[in-house]
Amino acid sequence: MNELLRRLLFLPDQASTFARDIDQLHYFVIVTTFVMSTAVGLTTLFFFVRYRRRSETQTTPHIEPTWWMELGFIGTPLFFFMLWFFLGFREFVRQQTPPSDAIDVYVMAKKWMWKFAYPDGPNAINVLRVPAGRNVRLLMTSRDVIHSFYVPEFRIKQDVLPGRYTQTWFNAVQPGRYQILCAEYCGAGHSIMRGEVIALKPQEFEDWLSQQRRGLVARQDSSPTGLDFAPALGNLVDQGRRIAAEQGCLKCHTTDGTRHIGPTWLDLYHRREKLQDGSIIDADEAYLTESMMEPTAKIVAGFQPVMPSFQGKIAGPEVAALVEYIKSLQSDVVRTGPSEGPAYAPIRGR
């Protein structure tokens, strides 16, 4: 029955753990709507024939519905709408909550291509290789305009925004090739902004990953400086460490927990920070990126808004490298509170 409905609705194959549940919700909404619409239509036709006006002098009787009729007319549609909302919201929360064991892949969209970077080195353009049966989290940003990452077989679609990080995740249930489309009009080349997800068997993926790492090491060894690579190449943590020094980030932020002008980066990732307005936020990838692009949007309590904006100064791959570097700065201490204030009052304008 499910396969028949999928074919009748021209839906693509179900290639992720999300696909079947989303399609089930799709079928439920469509079948319920179809049945109710048919019932209303047949009832209307019955009333049209049964209670048609038979003479010019016939009058329409006044009918007072009983309480249970009114309850049924109002409660039945409300029940189904609330049920659809509950099922849809449950699936939405599931898609927005990546598992802790997910593999991270950074995605940068630009006119008109997809760039993928793995935290431990490999990168690719328009081809995303992942292991089948493993959870994969995509941390996505755009270099220019709004794009939308869409894999029909996975039933995932997520907007990709400039200057921000959005995320989605999936688990490809079996090896295969699956098309990536941009679902947000992004300019003249929108229709050719396509890519491909290649789901490999776990061992094949590990072999490919090892081969890519060996290739990166060989290119670094053959380089006079070992550093003259594009930002998307090499280990993201090492790149982030170098970019932090070049951009002067370490003049205000420490990496060893010492109090300074800005919050320390040690154990910053997923720290529960208290803001000046009293709200609490999770220092995740989106917050770290926003703090670089719009540092005055969310100011940590106890600190002054003295950080400059890096909007337009660093590219998407460099932001990804900085975020990955900050994520790597973890100690054995379990932090329970927000960042402490600066060691001394900063001088404005510096």
Select from 106, 122, 117 the least CA-distant residue to 219.
122
Q: Burial code of 46-57, b = ≥16 C-beta within 10 A, e = fewer?
A: eeeeeeeeeeee
Mean pLDDT of the chain: 84
Name residue, tokens 């090492």.
238
CB 263 within 8 A of CB 339: yes
**Residue 231: predicted pLDDT:** 39
Whether residues 88 and 148 share a domain: the answer is no
Does 163 lie in the same domain as 252?
Answer: no
Q: What are phi and psi of 280, to 5 degrees?
A: -115, 135
Amino acid type, 44: T
Task: Decide if 42 is inside a domain.
Answer: yes
Alpha-carbon torsion (71, 76, 79, 82), positive or negative: negative
108: closest CA among 147, 136, 77?
147
Q: Residue 149 in 3-state DSSP?
A: strand
Q: Does 71 lie in the same domain as 8?
A: yes
d(CA 174, CA 2): 19
Give how many domains the chain has, as a whole number: 3
CA distance 166 to 239: 22
Place of tokens 């999770």: 282
Residues 40 and 90 in one domain: yes
Given 178, 211, 244, the domain boundary residue is: 211
Residues 276 and 196 in one domain: no
CATH at residue 263: 1.10.760.10
Nearest partner of 130 among 245, 10, 4, 15, judged by Cα: 15
Examine residue 231 and state whether it is found in any structural domain, yes or no. no
Q: Is the residue at 308 inside a domain? A: yes
Residue 218: inside a domain:
no
CA distance 326 to 346: 23
Residue 167 shares a structural domain with residue 260: no
Residue 191 included in any domain: yes
**Chain center to CA of 268:** 21
State how beta strands 135-142 and 103-110 pair: parallel
79 and 131 together in one domain: no
Q: Are residues 70 and 118 in the same domain?
A: no
Shared domain for 207 and 107, answered yes or no, is yes
- Find all residues with CB under 8 Å of 90, minimum gap 6, and list them: none
Tens-of-pLDDT digits for all 350 residues of the chain? 777 878 888 888 899 998 889 999 989 999 999 999 999 999 999 988 888 888 888 787 787 888 898 999 899 889 999 999 999 999 999 888 888 889 889 898 989 899 998 876 677 889 999 999 999 999 888 888 999 999 999 999 999 988 778 889 999 999 999 999 999 999 999 999 999 999 999 999 988 888 877 765 555 455 443 333 333 434 778 888 888 888 889 888 998 888 888 899 988 988 888 898 889 988 888 888 888 888 888 889 888 888 888 887 887 778 888 888 898 888 866 555 677 767 655 544 43
Per-residue exposure over 180-213, b if at least 16 CB sit within 10 Å of its own CB, e if not = bbbbbebeeebeebebebbbbeeeebeeebeebe
76 and 109, same domain (yes or no): no
Q: What is the pLDDT of residues 238-276, one digit of tens each?
A: 888 888 888 889 888 998 888 888 899 988 988 888 898
The CATH number of residue 148's host domain is 2.60.40.420
Within the chain, where are the H helices? 2-8, 17-50, 67-95, 202-222, 236-246, 285-293, 316-328
**Verdict on whether the full-model pTM lies above 0.75:** no
The strand pair at 103-110 and 113-117 is best described as antiparallel
Query: What single-letter DSSP state applies at residue 309?
Result: P
Residues 11 and 89 in one domain: yes
Note the pLDDT tens digit of each residue in 314-339.
Answer: 877 788 888 888 988 888 665 556 77
Q: Which domain holds residue 155?
A: 103-211
Query: Is 171 inside a domain boundary?
Result: yes
* 119: in domain: yes
Q: Are residues 83 and 110 in the same domain?
A: no
Q: Does residue 243 form part of some domain?
A: yes
d(CA 270, CA 338): 10
Phi, psi at 172, each rounded to 5°? -75, 120
Helix (H, G, I), strand (E, B) or coil at 228: coil
Residue with tokens 């970019």: 243
Give me 52's structure tokens.
């048609």
Give me the residue label for tokens 């019932």: 39
User: Contact at 8 Å (CB) between 143 and 105?
Assistant: no
